[in-house]
Amino acid sequence: QVQLEESGGGVVQPGRSLRLSCAASGFTFSSHGMHWVRQAPDKGLEWVAVISGDESKKYYLDSVKGRFTISRDNSKNRLYLQMNSLGSEDTAVYYCARGPTGAIDYWGQGTLVTVSS
Amino acid sequence: DIQMTQSPSTLSASVGDRVIITCRASQSVSSWLAWYQQKPGKAPKFLIYKASTLESGVPSRFSGSGSGTEFTLTISSLQPEDFATYYCQQYDTYPYTFGQGTKVEIK
């Protein structure tokens, strides 16, 4: 069965960096586009970024462009999100998600990122 | 960016009720619309894609309709496990965007 497990969340000071990781299993990872979606405390869902299966295409939410980088290692079945220049507005649960067509069919359980001094 | 607006934001209903949630897009998204269910502390669950196609394993009491800018999610007979927050999402144009959510509460 499809499994997605995020790691790397935690408390980070404003302006610092953090890298999230997502371990995928139960499907052919390299064949699927993958997303990061976040949810601030008691707020709705916000799409963050997507990467194609072959890593040739990447798209970002405007507010994270230039600060966040999505990447993947198909040999390790892993998805990453490098987050730089973090601000309080980036505090959220970050979900790794599979989205072969744009609709997101599987979600991880999420990892909490708290930006605070 | 395409804005997705759901209504109502909160809905109070009883078991057995028919529930309709509306999602409007600020511009046409064709049929590239999905619906998700989320319960507190849990990841969202995929319900419907391409506006009206039910994901495998989702109960048939859930249905979706619409195209262009107006969409609906209908629960034909609300069950206790359906009390949750529902989100629509357009995947026609980047950045993908979600509605603000509709919380279905027990009346």
Interchain contact A45–B (C-beta under 8 A): yes
Which residues of chain B lie closer than 8 angstroms to A50, CB-CB? 94, 96
Asked if residues A68 and A35 have their Cβ atoms less than 8 Å apart, the reply is no
Which of B37, B96, B98 to mutate against chain A (most A CBs within 10 Å)?
A: B96
Check whether B21 has a pLDDT greater than 90.
yes
Mean pLDDT value across residues A1-20: 97
Which pLDDT score is estimated for A101?
80
Helix, strand and coil in chain B, % to nearest 5 = 5, 50, 50
Chain-chain contact of A44 with B91 (C-beta, under 8 angstroms) = no
Longest CA–CA separation in chain B, Å: 38
d(CA A80, CA B98): 22
Q: How does pLDDT run across A21-35, given as a tens digit for each residue?
A: 999 999 999 999 999
Residue A66 identity (one-letter amino acid): G
Length of chain B: 107
Closest residue, chain B, to A57 (C-alpha) = B94
Mean pLDDT value across residues B10-29: 97
Q: Give every CB contact of residue A28 below 8 A, 6+ residues apart in sequence.
A: none
d(CA A37, CA A106): 12
d(CA A2, CA A29): 10
Which residues of chain B lie closer than 8 angstroms to A102, CB-CB? 32, 34, 91-92, 96
Which pLDDT score is estimated for A1?
95
Beta strands in chain B (DSSP E): 4-7, 10-13, 19-25, 33-38, 45-49, 53-54, 62-67, 70-75, 85-90, 97-98, 102-106
Which pLDDT score is estimated for A102?
85
Structure tokens at A54: 């072959």
Which residues of chain A lie closer than 8 angstroms to B40, CB-CB? none
d(CA B73, CA B64): 5
Which residues of chain A lie closer than 8 angstroms to B99, CB-CB? 44
d(CA B48, CA B9): 19
d(CA B8, CA B79): 19
Closest CA to A80 of A44, A111, A103: A111
Structure tokens at A5: 């497990």
Q: How does pLDDT run across B66-96, given as a tens digit for each residue?
A: 999 999 999 999 999 999 999 999 999 999 9
